[in-house]
Amino acid sequence: MRKNIVAGNWKMNTTVPEGVTLAKEVNEKLAAITPKCDVIICVPFTHLCPVNEVINSEKLGLGAENCADHAKGAYTGEVSAAMVASTGATYVILGHSERRQYYGETSETLKEKVALAFENGLTPIFCIGEVLEERENGTAFDVVKKQIVDALFHLSAEDFSKIILAYEPVWAIGTGKTATDDQAEEMHAFIRGVIAEKYGQEVADNTSILYGGSCKPGNAKALFAKPNVDGGLIGGAALDAESFMGIVTAF
Ligand code: PGA
């Protein structure tokens, strides 16, 4: 059966010393409990090696927030999937709405990134989600379906099964405006149906679909109680160990 997962997405926050301190705090708090979910932190590239040094990878997974769409070579400033994997990280967030919006990521580039992640043994946390206008004009479901179909449905069932999906309505990210648990459940159930149509019910049932967008300790319990919400991708609330753990323990 699918896993429950809480993953932090630190985005472009914390210096290396601050990030190491935060990772240590999360690691310590996790050591004291037996969480009912997998716990992951996705951190800036510069933080991967030093953070990997201070966490217990048995209890806390480590991921990057992006990787390049080329394997290696003359791509100044880019960081490859192989480089990410060589730090000890085992996850990578791909297709975050901020990457799509500000850095022009398309389904075509994301296909390359997913392939390179797999080649290097990284598990993609693949983000999808509509913008406010699409929610309001009733196209949210079509938009999300198209994001999945265009970037992922060329994969074999075996490869697709390795993906973690994160539904993040763009209008809820960093805005304090969470999707209601019913809105999240409605979209997650729809996504699972789309997967079932393509890969069959078993693959769909085994896919973890996380919710992201202003998820906090105060709303995580209600969101995670929904049958198709398998956890969260946490931005702002992951920057404080106490609030991140408040979400982890919502399961
Ligand atoms: P937020 O970000 O929790 O700060 O809304 C979530 C995300 O973008 O992954």
CA–centroid distance, 74 to ligand 1, in Å, is: 32
Query: What does the pLDDT read at residue 123?
Result: 98
Ligand 1 within 6 A of 178 CB? no
Query: What does the pLDDT read at residue 175?
Result: 85
The tens place of each residue's pLDDT in the chain, 251 residues long, gives 899 999 999 999 999 999 999 999 999 999 999 999 999 999 999 999 999 999 999 999 999 999 999 999 999 999 999 999 999 999 999 999 999 999 999 999 999 999 999 999 999 999 999 999 999 999 999 999 999 999 999 999 999 999 999 999 999 988 888 889 999 999 999 999 999 999 999 999 999 999 999 999 999 999 999 999 999 999 999 999 999 999 999 99
Query: What does the pLDDT read at residue 36?
Result: 97
Q: Which residues contact 58 (CB under 8 A, 6 or more apart)?
A: none
Ligand 1 within 6 A of 116 CB? no
Query: What does the pLDDT read at residue 236?
Result: 97
Q: Which two tokens stand for residue 169?
A: 């309505």
Query: What does the pLDDT read at residue 66?
Result: 98
Rounded to whole angstroms, the Cα distance separating 149 from 33 reads 38
Ligand 1 within 6 A of 81 CB? no
Q: Which residues contact 72 (CB under 8 A, 6 or more apart)?
A: 80, 82
Contact 71, 80 (CB under 8 A): yes
Name the residue among 242, 235, 152, 156 with its Cα closest to residue 194.
Answer: 152
Atom 6 of ligand 1: nearest residue by CA position: 235
User: Is the sign of the CA dihedral 192, 216, 105, 14 positive or negative?
Assistant: negative
Nearest-atom index, ligand 1, CA of 93: 9
Nearest-atom index, ligand 1, CA of 175: 5
Number of other CB atoms surrounding residue 90 within 10 Å: 18
CA–centroid distance, 115 to ligand 1, in Å, is: 25
Atom 1 of ligand 1: nearest residue by CA position: 235
CA–centroid distance, 132 to ligand 1, in Å, is: 15
**Cα angle: 204, vertex 5, 215; to 5 degrees:** 105
- HSE-up of 195 (CA within 13 Å, CB side)? 27
Ligand 1 within 6 A of 9 CB? yes
CA–centroid distance, 200 to ligand 1, in Å, is: 30
Query: What does the pLDDT read at residue 90?
Result: 98
Number of other CB atoms surrounding residue 54 within 10 Å: 15
Q: What is the Cα gyration radius of the chain?
A: 17
